[in-house]
């Protein structure tokens, strides 16, 4: 739980976390790093914003067709704030950056990922989405990612989602001239 200073407004009290996180985990990953947590979290918020603006090619199955269709994967990302999530946009990214720069890095961050799939056939198919809830727990020199699959058919495996985020995060760290993270382990069920 975050320690709250007296000058923090009520809308920032739960910034970064949820009141409760599911106990059933569908994946777990751990990372080691050799930089300070403030720099890591600033790069993380930039990486999440970059991922939100990304559209990746994805082979997608559709129930009424054999095989795979060409498609795209897009992300909607939210940051925990008590009972729900605040959509990660430029304003929310700035709010998070101000929080870590002016107070301290988060001990824990809860993030929701809505994975949107689109088929590129001009017919307007709308495949079911996947929703993943992640809790990032930070400790000196390492952090752990706990993943709960909320809904969907797991077109993207939780372990693959972790690797997508790691790739974007290491790109951000590289642009800042910082060392990347090492994936210590990832277990997916």
CATH number at residue 63: 3.30.530
pTM, two decimals, is 0.87
Tell me whether residue 5 is in a domain: no
pLDDT digits (tens, 9 = 90+) for 139-169: 988 999 999 999 999 999 999 999 999 999 9
Average of pLDDT values for 81-106? Answer: 94
Tell me whether residue 4 is in a domain: no
Tell me whether residue 7 is in a domain: no
What is the extent of the structural domain holding 133?
A: 14-188
Tell me whether residue 48 is in a domain: yes
- With beta carbons less than 8 A apart as the criterion, state whether 169 and 183 touch: no
Residue 99: which of 26, 24, 166, 16 has the closest Cα? Answer: 16
* Neighbouring C-alpha atoms within 13 Å toward the C-beta of 187: 5
Number of domains in the chain: 1
Torsion sign (Cα): 83, 86, 87, 88: negative
Tell me whether residue 8 is in a domain: no
Tell me whether residue 6 is in a domain: no
Tell me whether residue 9 is in a domain: no
Q: How far apart are CA 104 and CA 119, in angstroms?
A: 42
């Amino acid at each position: 739980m975050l320690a709250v200073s007296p000058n923090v407004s009520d809308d920032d009290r739960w910034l970064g976390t949820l009141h409760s996180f599911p106990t059933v985990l569908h994946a777990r990953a751990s990372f080691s790093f050799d930089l300070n947590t403030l720099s890591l979290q600033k790069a993380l918020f930039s990486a999440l914003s970059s991922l939100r603006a990304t559209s990746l090619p994805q082979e997608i199955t559709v129930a009424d067709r054999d095989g795979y269709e060409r498609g795209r994967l897009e992300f909607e990302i939210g940051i925990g704030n008590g009972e729900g999530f605040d959509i990660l946009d430029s304003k929310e990214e700035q709010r998070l950056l101000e929080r870590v720069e002016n107070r301290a890095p988060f001990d824990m961050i809860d993030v929701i990922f809505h994975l949107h799939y689109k088929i590129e056939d001009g017919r307007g198919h709308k495949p079911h989405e996947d929703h993943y809830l992640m809790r990032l727990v930070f400790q000196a020199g390492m952090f752990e990612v706990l993943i709960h699959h909320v809904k969907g058919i797991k077109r993207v495996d939780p372990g693959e989602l972790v690797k997508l985020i790691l790739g974007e995060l290491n790109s951000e760290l590289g642009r800042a001239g910082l060392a990347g993270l090492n994936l210590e382990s990832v277990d997916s069920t």
